Amino acid sequence: MALSPDEIERYARHLVLHEVGGPGQNRLKEAKVLVIGAGGIGAPLLYYLAAAGIGTIGIIDHDTVSLSNLQRQIIHTTARAGLAKTSSARETMQGLNPHVHVVEHAYRITAENALEVISGYDIVADGCDNFPTRYLVSDACYFAKKTLVSAAVGQFDGQLSTFKPHEFSPDGTPWPTYRCLMGELPPRGLFPACEEAGILGALPGVLGSMQAMEVIKEVLGIGDSLAGRLLMYDALATRFFETRLAWNPGNMLTGDHPSITSLQQSNYIDR
């Protein structure tokens, strides 16, 4: 797929990178990435994916823009308050890069539609703000055999990892899934949402930007994947920590005796 003169100029700093070049930029152009959530994490993630030239970017979000979003959700504007977040994000992304095809899924992802939506993309990037959706997206990516790059934030901290449990690690065991990290779905209220606990606005910008980098690395097949690793960021201390993640043979999805064999067999309702 030949790049146009405009694209050659636009991606000039990519094209001179040995790890990217013309072939890599074409891989980015041919890639289809689904982003879960156009909020604090999704905003910089979507913006950088569009800037990088990801050819097709899907956005799934059922919410509308509100003024309280704008302290951190930098892809939206004051004038778009009340507009669907998918439409607001698309307008910003295509204003930055008209070569990007943005697909709006202006509804909530559910156990009934997750597989159909996710199956149309190569990679999924989850930046949602609640545990039931994270579990649903992770399980759906496993069944659809799609790589998942997942990010989450608290008040002053965040974490990032890549999950590909449909593939095997060098030791012959499956790569871990989100359930290997978190176990069962936490009860509602154990981790308060940001509207209750608060969040420093720049924090999701850090995690969303890093998440975009991991998605781009997975598309290009360069560098070290975060599969099997969890990266944690403490914003107040300005420190990064890393820990290894291992497959849990007792987990309900990919363990030795799985009890979840379809999305209809697990409860993804916020308890």
pLDDT tens digits for 46-102?
Answer: 999 999 999 999 999 999 999 999 999 999 999 999 999 999 999 999 999 999 999
What is the per-residue pLDDT for 124? Answer: 98
Q: Which of 125, 119, 118 is nearest to 41 (CA)?
A: 125
What average pLDDT is seen over the chain? Answer: 94
Q: Which two tokens stand for residue 63?
A: 């919410």
What is the per-residue pLDDT for 270? Answer: 53
What is the per-residue pLDDT for 189? Answer: 60
- Is 126's pLDDT higher than 60? yes
Higher pLDDT, 221 or 267: 221
**Are 109 and 117 in contact, with CB atoms under 8 Å apart?**
yes
- Is 45's pLDDT higher than 70? yes
Q: Going along the chain, which residue ranges are E strands?
A: 32-36, 56-60, 101-105, 123-126, 147-153, 157-163, 229-234, 239-244
Specify the fold of 22-265. Answer: Rossmann fold (3.40.50)
What is the per-residue pLDDT for 86? Answer: 98
- Is 271's pLDDT higher than 50? no
- Is 192's pLDDT higher than 50? yes
Percent of the chain topping pLDDT 70: 96
Burial 126-143 (b: 16+ CB within 10 A, else e): bbbbebbbbbbbbbbbbb
- Rounded Cα distance between 155 and 194, Å, is 7
What is the per-residue pLDDT for 268? Answer: 78
Rounded to 5 degrees, φ, ψ at 268 are -100, 15
- β-bridge mates for residue 56, sequence order: 32, 101
* Stretch 132-158: mean pLDDT: 96
- Is 190's pLDDT higher than 80? no
Amino acid making up residue 136:
L
- Rounded Cα distance between 54 and 35, Å, is 12
Amino acid making up residue 87:
S
* Stretch 27-52: mean pLDDT: 98
Amino acid making up residue 141:
C
Q: Going along 118-245, which residue ranges are E strands?
A: 123-126, 147-153, 157-163, 229-234, 239-244
Domain range annotation of the chain: 22-265
**Are 85 and 76 in contact, with CB atoms under 8 Å apart?**
yes
